[in-house]
Amino acid sequence: MLPDAPEHAGYIFDRWDGDPTNVTENRTITACYWMIGDVNHDGEITTYDALLIMRYALGLETEGNELIMDFNGDGCVDSLDALLVLRRSIGAGITVSASTVVRSRKTA
């Protein structure tokens, strides 16, 4: 049985990396996370991420992880999320609150 994933401000738990079955010796199982706002998963929050969020909010894109795009954690992806990600990408002092990390994607 795997433990609950540790929470990290600004990140969403994705999955455990490693095989937790048939453990007969020490084994490393790593918790993998997604950065909130990093829509294209390149490890950075950039203006391109803001563009992807805006396209999704306008209905021009239909695929995407809403947990990652919902930057302010209000339960919907909209132009405010795109604006906040844009401001964060240019260093305008936007941070993600620790309360955001309570949202997680369930895995089997």
Amino acid 19: pLDDT? 80
Q: Where in the chain is the domain with CATH 1.10.1330.10?
A: 37-92
- The whole-model pTM stands at 0.74
Number of C-beta neighbours around residue 103 at 10 A: 15
**CA-CA distance, 80 to 31, in Å (whole number)?**
30
**CA-CA distance, 24 to 86, in Å (whole number)?**
48
Closest CA to 39 of 65, 8, 76: 65
Give the CATH H-level superfamily of domain 37-92.
Dockerin domain (1.10.1330.10)
Residues of the chain with pLDDT under 70: 93-108
DSSP 3-state assignment of 93?
coil
Task: Count Cα neighbours of 94 within 13 Å in the Cβ-side half-sphere.
Answer: 20
